[in-house]
Amino acid sequence: MVGLAQAIALASQGLEVTVIDHEDPAKILGAEFDGRVSAIAWRSYKFLDKIGAWKEMASHAEPIKDIRVSEFGSNLFFAF
């Protein structure tokens, strides 16, 4: 997401941009792909909105209601 946002911002300033991703696009779009999630801070939201990307992302966004942080294999966690 960071690289794509930067590419959009640079292209909107007239630079020629090429984005190269090592992952096969067909795999990324497959239902079994584990794309994880991203928490977007306020300033990042403002940046995405400024470059026009947020309008494409907004319908997929949801508020963070709780967070649980843990280490794989551990029974300990931190929640807020």
Burial class (CB in 10 A: 0-12, 13-18, 19+), 13: exposed
Closest C-alpha to 17, from 2, 4, 32: 4
The answer to whether the pTM exceeds 0.85 is no
**Cα–Cα dist 63/77, whole Å:** 21
Q: Please give the residue range of the domain that contains residue 46.
A: 2-79
Q: Is pLDDT of 73 > 90?
A: no
Per-residue pLDDT at 6: 93
Domain count, the chain: 1
In this predicted structure, what is the pLDDT of residue 17?
96
Separation between Cα atoms, residue 77 and residue 72, nearest integer Å? 10
- For residue 46, the one-letter residue type is K
Q: What pLDDT digit, counting tens, does each position of 23-70 carry?
A: 888 887 888 887 777 888 899 999 999 999 999 999 989 888 888 888
Q: Number of H helices and number of E strands within the chain?
A: 4, 2
